[in-house]
Amino acid sequence: NVDLSFCFLRFDEIKEGDVVRHEGKGSDGYLEHIFKHAAKELFGMDVKEITYKALKNKDFQEVTLEKDGETVLRFAAAYGFRNIQNMVLKLKKGKFLYHFVEVLACPGGCLNGKGQAQTEDGKTDKALLNQMEEVYAAIPVRLPETNTHVQKMYQDWLEGMDSKKVQETLHTKYSAVNETTSNLDIKW
């Protein structure tokens, strides 16, 4: 049995000023943090700010890193089911050339999700959304790797940052899956 109790921060231990967030433009995910980390680790480039480029619509954006005139990292953010479906189709055709994709079901991201406050007629309250984005942006950023609870988990449970247990627990390999002929297959 493994005791994981040490890696969970109890709410009674959080003081008012302790609330932090990851890097990023919203409540989305870790695209920005992973992009900056990959640029540093893989190419020795210290990226301070990233620029999102909207492609077909504002909910499908791309972030790239160029080195010596060549694109070396290509990340995407796909929000909303239509963009997710298009992404899956392109993946199946082998025409989706991204190293990392952040996928969120809600168009506009989590702050725009159905769990958020809306007007009485069920529409998004734009003023409230802007206010939530401002509040979120005001929360201090702390990199995940500086979190003492995460560091303790790596040391105590995973036996160090580069251990065999880290490779077995946190990393995976993907391989092609043979097509099935079942009628239950989902067609996008």
Q: How confident is the model at residue 165 (pLDDT cuts 50, 70, 90)?
A: very high
Question: pLDDT at position 14, please?
Answer: 52
Q: How confident is the model at residue 137 (pLDDT cuts 50, 70, 90)?
A: confident
In a domain, 21, yes or no: no
Q: Tell me, yes or no, whether 74 and 144 share the same domain.
A: no
In a domain, 123, yes or no: no
In a domain, 51, yes or no: yes
Per-residue pLDDT for 68 more than 60? yes
Q: How confident is the model at residue 98 (pLDDT cuts 50, 70, 90)?
A: very high
Q: How far apart are the C-alpha atoms of 71 and 118, rounded to whole Å?
A: 41
Own/partner pairs for 88-96, CB < 8 Å, 24+ apart? 88/188, 89/188, 92/188
Q: Tell me, yes or no, whether 33 and 101 share the same domain.
A: yes
**How do strand 100-104 and strand 53-57 relate by DSSP bridges?**
unpaired
> What is the spatial order of strands in the sheet that 100-104 belongs to?
53-57, 60-67, 70-79, 100-104
First-to-last alpha carbon distance for the chain, in angstroms, is: 42
How many structural domains comprise the chain? 2
Tokens of 125: 């309250």
Q: What percent of the chain has pLDDT over 90?
A: 20
In a domain, 49, yes or no: yes
Q: Tell me, yes or no, whether 33 and 84 share the same domain.
A: yes
In a domain, 46, yes or no: yes
Question: pLDDT at position 4, please?
Answer: 41
Q: How far apart are the C-alpha atoms of 21 and 14, rounded to whole Å?
A: 14
CATH of the domain at 80: 3.40.950.10
Tell me which residue range forms the domain holding 149.
140-169
In a domain, 148, yes or no: yes
- Say which residue, 72 or 170, is predicted with more confidence: 72
Q: Tell me, yes or no, whether 104 and 152 share the same domain.
A: no
For the entire predicted model, the pTM comes to 0.66
Q: Tell me, yes or no, whether 33 and 103 share the same domain.
A: yes
Q: How confident is the model at residue 9 (pLDDT cuts 50, 70, 90)?
A: very low
Q: How confident is the model at residue 173 (pLDDT cuts 50, 70, 90)?
A: confident
Q: Tell me, yes or no, whether 103 and 149 share the same domain.
A: no
